[in-house]
Amino acid sequence: MITDQRVQNYLYAMLPEREPVLREMERQAKERGIPIVGPAVGRLFYQYARLINARAVFEMGSAIGYSTLWWARAVGGAGQVHYTDGSRKNADEARSYFDQAGVASQIRIHVGDALELLSERKEQFDILFCDVDKHDYPRVFNMAAARVRKGGLFIIDNALWHGDVAYAAGNPELAGKSEPDKLTKGVVELNRLLYDSMSWFTTIVPLRDGVAVAMRL
């Protein structure tokens, strides 16, 4: 756990009840082992989007669309969220949830490689959310600055990667392994690139598995 279990329990116990569609998605994720950001991080996304009055969000790695739905609620009817996933089955399931929630008209669904799909876009977004394969995180960093407007946000899930980022501090014993794998290396490298960059102002929020929030300068 990234935070003390007692703190984690408290944070989730404080959460208000979610709408029925979100609750069903949470149930499916738990039963089927589908990775989703969960309600605490979903609320964080909603809050950040509202704070910067976001209207255009590009999401990289959407699965069944749980975080997509939070973004869609935040940007409102005048906004647009781009969903991306490599699985047509995931996309079809996500579409059914969007229909149930009444936000389908706000969401553009793209099936394919998220990095390739982003590379095809010429516009800039208010928020770019990254939740692709972790070894690809540094590649996403190299694309992000050109696709996020100044004052916009580049948000990355799993920024603490189960605590294995302890390797970055030179403490492999804290991670419980002798050698980092390529996924851990990808997360560590992205975090380093963000904090070293003059184009981004970055904070890592230790909620769930860690959320990196970088503001485009």
Mean pLDDT, to the nearest integer, of 86-103? Answer: 98
Question: What's 195's domain CATH number?
Answer: 3.40.50.150
At residue 175, the pLDDT reads: 52
Banded model confidence at residue 63, pLDDT cuts 50, 70, 90: very high
For the chain, the domain total comes to 1
Name which of 114-118, 149-153, 165-169, 183-187 the model is least confident about.
Answer: 165-169
At residue 2, the pLDDT reads: 79
**Residue in 36, 61, 86, 63 with CA at minimum distance from that of residue 209:** 36
At residue 21, the pLDDT reads: 98
Q: Which domain holds residue 134?
A: 5-216
At 128-171, the pLDDT tens digits run 999 999 999 999 999 999 999 999 999 999 999 998 887 666 66
Q: What is the torsion angle, in degrees rounded to the nearest 10, for the CA atoms of residue 84, residue 86, residue 87 and residue 93?
A: -10
The pairing of strands 211-216 and 148-157 is antiparallel
At 43-55, the pLDDT tens digits run 999 999 999 999 9
